[in-house]
Amino acid sequence: MAEQLSLFVEKYRPKTISECVLPEEIQDTFQNIVDSGECPNLLLSGRAGVGKTTVAKALCNELGFDHIMINCSEDGNIDMLRTRIRNFASTVSLTDSMKVVILDEFDYSNAQSFQPALRGAIEEFSSTCRFILTCNYKNRIIEPLHSRCTNIDFNIPGAEKAKLAARFMERVIYILDSEGIPHKKEVVASFIQRHFPDFRRILNELQRYSSTGIIDVGILSAAGEIPVNSLFKSMKEKNFTDVRRWVVMNLDNAPPEMFRSFYEEAYNALEDSSIPEAILILAEYQYKAAFVADQEINFVACLVELMMRCNYK
């Protein structure tokens, strides 16, 4: 097995739009931007791992634009705008080309200070700089920024899922072969089907598991579904301590996946009369998850309400 010197998601990140695994309509949209040689301000939204940041970087690479990337979950504050962003946008490009500021995870930026101030920056530097915002939850972003950007949702039509999964399968097999990692194609296919379209998670899990020497059926259990059976047992017993412990241990999963796993298992664990109320509770807290600052508190609150108001088999 070849020595792994870097993360697969970075080492094999597509450099061009044609290399990106995207639905046909979205791919055509970005290819048209490349062909035109000009990039508008963009707001790219969609679930985690579908390629928003990769597309932003590929656009800058193909268009030859100088760019910086800022992770707004760490630096989404007004000071960043006043210093690093303003300094970058106001200086002349070394290649005399347009500059681009990629604001990654922009839905975590400060909506009271940073986001309103960015409106002025977009207009002030319109002749020399473009802004590409990426987010999971676009409803966290103020409306004036929506109107200043071309909005593109990374939604995958059901009719294209199989085709895109097959394309990504080819990419994964190429990566595993390039790294000298033994693998069973049917296992890789099953793993991709389980976590598609979260490309980042698939590659990260494959790289992590490859340390065992081979990608075999063990990965399907090592990186399996969210274990909600034990959670339902604790909720039935009204064991709040174990419920909270379960949440802490599973917080590395995306909130939509956690809510979905609970929803699917509810039909087996709850009395039929409790299922409608459980669905309403889940829908309410899943909506709140797009706004809250602390996902742990939100999900624990959801489980407490479900624990107290539902009847279990």
Over range 261-281, report the average pLDDT: 91
Report residue 225's pLDDT band, with 50, 70 and 90 as the boundaries. low
Please give the DSSP secondary-structure letter assigned to residue 273. G
CATH architecture of the domain with range 158-222: Orthogonal Bundle (1.10)
CATH 3.40.50.300 domain span(s) along the chain: 24-153
pLDDT for res 220 = 67
pLDDT for res 88 = 92
How many Å apart are CA 38 and CA 47, to the nearest integer? 26
pLDDT for res 160 = 92
Span of 30-39, 96-105, 140-149, 190-199 with lowest mean pLDDT: 190-199
Percentage above 70 pLDDT, the chain: 96
Of the options 3.30.530.20, 3.30.70.1560, 3.40.50.920, 3.40.50.300, the CATH number for the domain spanning 24-153: 3.40.50.300
pLDDT for res 3 = 42
User: What digits encode the pLDDT tens for the residues 79-107?
Assistant: 888 889 999 988 877 777 889 999 999 98
CATH 1.10.8.60 domain span(s) along the chain: 158-222
pTM, 2 dp: 0.75
| DSSP H stretches of helix in the chain | 8-11, 24-36, 52-63, 72-75, 78-80, 86-90, 114-124, 143-148, 161-178, 185-195, 199-209, 218-222, 229-236, 240-249, 255-269, 275-288, 295-309
Q: Is 80 exceeded by the pLDDT of residue 227?
A: no
Over range 161-167, report the average pLDDT: 93
Residues 6 or more apart in contact with residue 127 via CB below 8 angstroms: none
Q: What is the chain's length?
A: 313
Mean model confidence pLDDT for the chain: 88
222 CB-side CA count, 13 A: 16
From first CA to last CA, the distance across the chain in angstroms is: 49
Any idea which residue has 């990186």 for tokens? Answer: 223
How many Å apart are CA 188 and CA 219, to the nearest integer? 9
What's the fold here for domain 229-309?
A: Zinc Finger, Delta Prime; domain 3 (1.20.272)
Q: Is 90 exceeded by the pLDDT of residue 278?
A: yes
